[in-house]
Chain A
Amino acid sequence: MISLAGRDILHSWGRFVLTGLGLGLLIGVTLTMAGVYRGMVDDARVMLGNSGADLWAVQKDTQGPYAESSSIRDDVYRDLLGLEGVAQAANVTYLTMQVRRGDTEVRAMVVGFEPGHPGEPAFLTAGRRITRGHYEALADAATGFAVGERIRIRRHDYSVVGLTRRMVSSGGDPMVFVSLKDAQEAQFLKDNDAIVNERARTAANPALNRPGVPGLLEAITASQVTNRNVNAVLVTVRDGHAPEEVAAGIRRWQHLQAYTRAQMEEILIAKLISTAAKQIGMFLVILAIVSAAIVAFIIYTMTLGKIREIAVLKLIGTRDRTIASMILQQALGLGLIGFSVGKIAATAWGPAFPKYVLLEPGDAVRGFVVVMVVCAVASSLAIRAALKVDPATAIGG
Chain B
Amino acid sequence: MRVAESSAGVGIRIEGLSKRYGEGDAAVDALKDANLQVAPGEVVGLIGPSGSGKTTLLKCLGAVIEPTRGRMIVGGVVIYDDGWRISDLRALRRDRIGFIFQAPYLIPFLDVTDNVALMPMLAGRPNREARARALELLQALDVAHRARAETSELSGGEQQRVSIARALANRPPVILADEPTAPLDSERALAVMRILNRMASEYQTAIIVVTHDEKIIPTFKRIYHIRDGRTTEEAGEGRALD
Contact = CB atoms under 8 A, between A and B. Distances in A.
Interface of A: 1-2, 4, 7-8, 10-12, 308-309, 312-319, 322, 390-392, 394-397
A308 B105 contact: yes
Contacts of B166: 316
Given A2-B114, A315-B62, A315-B99, A394 B121 contact: no
Interface in B93-143: 93-95, 99, 101-102, 105, 107-110, 114, 117-119, 121-123, 127
A1 B121 contact: yes
Contacts of A391: 64, 93
Contact of A317 (B94, B109, B117, B127): B94
Contacts of A308: 105
Contact of A396 (B55, B92, B108, B110): B55
Interface string B64-102: 110000000000000000000000001111110001011
Contacts of A315: 62, 64, 93, 99
Contacts of B123: 317
A376 to B, nearest CB: 21
8 contacts: A2-B114, A2-B118, A2-B121, A390-B64, A394-B101, A395-B58, A395-B101, A396-B55
Nearest to B123: A317
A308 B108 CA distance: 11
Given A316-B119, A397-B55, A12 B109 contact: yes
B107 A395 contact: no
Given A315-B99, A317-B91, A390-B64, A1 B109 contact: no
A395 B94 contact: no
A313 B102 CA distance: 16
B215 interface: no
A314 B118 CA distance: 12
Nearest to B127: A2
Interface string B191-234: 00000000000000000000000000000000000000000000
Give chain B's interface secondary structure class.
helix
A308 B107 CA distance: 9
Q: Which of A309, A322, A395, A396 has the most CB of B within 10 A?
A: A395
Interface of B: 55, 58-59, 62, 64-65, 90-95, 99, 101-102, 105, 107-110, 114, 117-119, 121-123, 127, 166, 178
Given A7-B109, A317-B92, 6 more contacts: A4-B110, A309-B107, A312-B105, A392-B62, A395-B58, A396-B102
Contacts of B118: 2, 316
A299 to B, nearest CB: 15
B65 A392 contact: yes
A269 B96 CA distance: 68
Contacts of A396: 55, 101-102, 178
B108 A316 contact: no
Nearest to B176: A395
Contact of B99 (A309, A319, A395, A397): A395
The 4 tightest CB contacts between A and B, nearest first, are A317-B94, A11-B109, A392-B64, A8-B109
A394 B59 contact: no
B122 A1 contact: yes
A393 B117 CA distance: 23
Contact of A316 (B99, B110, B114): B99
Contacts of A11: 108-109
B132 to A, nearest CB: 15
A395 B91 contact: no
Contacts of B178: 395-396
A147 B59 CA distance: 86
Contacts of B107: 309, 312-313
B27 to A, nearest CB: 19
Contacts of B59: 392, 395
B89 to A, nearest CB: 9
A265 to B, nearest CB: 55
Nearest to A7: B109
Given A10-B109, A309-B108, A394-B105, A317 B65 contact: no
A322 B123 CA distance: 12
A313 B90 CA distance: 10
Contacts of B117: 2
Contacts of B92: 317
Contacts of A1: 121-122, 127
A320 to B, nearest CB: 9
Nearest to A310: B107
A392 B19 CA distance: 15
B159 to A, nearest CB: 13
B192 to A, nearest CB: 18
A396 to B, nearest CB: 7
A216 B218 CA distance: 132
A293 to B, nearest CB: 25
B121 A395 contact: no
B109 A316 contact: no
Contacts of A7: 109-110, 114
A4 B178 CA distance: 26
Contacts of A12: 109
Contacts of A4: 109-110
Contacts of A2: 110, 114, 117-118, 121, 127
B93 A395 contact: no
Nearest to B126: A1
A1 B122 CA distance: 7
A309 B118 CA distance: 13
A319 B109 contact: no
Nearest to B152: A11
